[in-house]
Chains A and B, each alone.
Chain A
Amino acid sequence: ELKVEQNPLFLSMQEGKNYTIYCNYSTTSDRLYWYRQDPGKSLESLFVLLSNGAVKQEGRLMASLDTKARLSTLHITAAVHDLSATYFCAVDEGGYQKVTFGTGTKLQVIP
């Protein structure tokens, strides 16, 4: 059974600081997704990573994938309050995109 672990589970950081969220998974996969969820809301797709070494950036967020290490990172640069949310990674188990989600990282950016 595929297991997806994120750390940290909770992250409180000051505006302007940098930090990285880690996503480890237990089986071979070359497809990984990052989502954002605001309280009481649905999931918003942030990044789709489809191969080893893939790196994508959008604004203050950058995601990368190392399939050999079974590790993805979500790096936050110069955090702002609007980034406060819960971030999930999700690993694709098979060709029809059945995904297993991590437990999420709740990010709080303090002004």
Chain B
Amino acid sequence: DTGVSQNPRHKITKRGQNVTFRCDPISEHNRLYWYRQTLGQGPEFLTYFQNEAQLEKSRLLSDRFSAERPKGSFSTLEIQRTEQGDSAMYLCASSFPSYNEQFFGPGTRLTVL
């Protein structure tokens, strides 16, 4: 296992379209996190899963955003009716309860035209 993977790495879409991103965590990690990072800022927490349960969602996660982790392994983040303000890097991280650090994937860079 080489780490957290994310697909696609880059996504360009037109305003109003729906997009979906995928994250595959490190295999033995049962915790999975989504963050959003805009240029010049630190990552902002979006949501968190433990196994398949979504335990917390940030108020940043509007009703256009939905995340799933159906079998407690990979996760998807969907953005409906994209807006230009959604343009950002979307980062996924995973961790194991006894480990005290999160391991980040390479990110998906979204550009909304």
Contacts and interface: CB of A to CB of B under 8 A. Distances in A.
A99 B34 CA distance: 11
A interface, by DSSP: helix, strand, loop or mixed?
strand
A31 B100 CA distance: 8
Interface of B: 31, 33, 40-45, 48, 50, 55-56, 91, 93, 95, 100-107
B45 A99 contact: yes
A45 B31 CA distance: 17
Interface of A: 4, 31, 33, 35, 41-45, 48, 50, 88, 90, 92, 96-104
Nearest to A40: B109
Contacts of A99: 45, 102
14 contacts: A33-B101, A35-B104, A42-B91, A43-B43, A44-B104, A45-B102, A48-B101, A88-B42, A92-B100, A96-B48, A96-B55, A96-B56, A98-B56, A101-B42
B42 A42 contact: no
A52 B100 CA distance: 15
B31 A42 contact: no
Given A50-B100, A88-B42, A104-B42, A42 B95 contact: no
Contacts of B48: 96, 98
A98 B33 CA distance: 8
Given A96-B48, A104-B41, A42 B100 contact: no
Contacts of B56: 96, 98
Nearest to A102: B42
Contacts of B50: 96
